[in-house]
Amino acid sequence: MKKQRSHIHSDKDHFTALLKEFWQYMKNCNYSPETVKQRKSSLDKFLVFSAEYHIERFHDVSLNDLETYRIWMQDHNLNDNTIETHLRAIRVLFNYLEEQSLLFENPTTPLIIKSRRKVLPKVISVKQVHHLLNAPDPGKSTGIRDQAILELLYATGMRRKEIL
């Protein structure tokens, strides 16, 4: 069984201090800035819920609270993929807290998180591809650059963010 640390006494500081440790952990594990940003956003939303439902410490969170949180997000019109993403972020945090012996029991262990529904990208026609590849003006230096970028993207399947 895991022991709880008792060095954090203020309820207001409890979440803040543990999250600060968690962000440092993510940084040390070389998580991408986008992943960190998404998890911060997800956990910020959970903190809003926690305040609304008077949950003052992480070790006060129960499976029932997490299921209530799922319903709360549905009531706030979040789609299923977003809800599951938020719940995954909470699970990662609670797994970290458990690994650090900051939790006696991890309430996310029995939590059912559905796998994401993958939406396939729309495919453009061959005619649209030719039109797109011929759009840059090769008479300009930026046109040559743009054409090279488009051809590289098309030939390799790279994402826009990967080339910039």
For the whole model, what pTM was predicted?
0.66
Distance, CA of 67 to CA of 70 (rounded, Å): 5
User: Which tens digit of pLDDT belongs to each residue from 70-86?
Assistant: 999 999 999 999 999 99
Burial 57-76 (b: 16+ CB within 10 A, else e): ebbebeeebbeebbebbeee
pLDDT score for 95 = 95
The predicted model gives 28-44 an average pLDDT of 92
CATH code assigned to 11-99 = 1.10.150
- Residue spans per domain, the chain: 11-99, 126-163
Which of 6 and 39 is assigned the larger pLDDT? 39
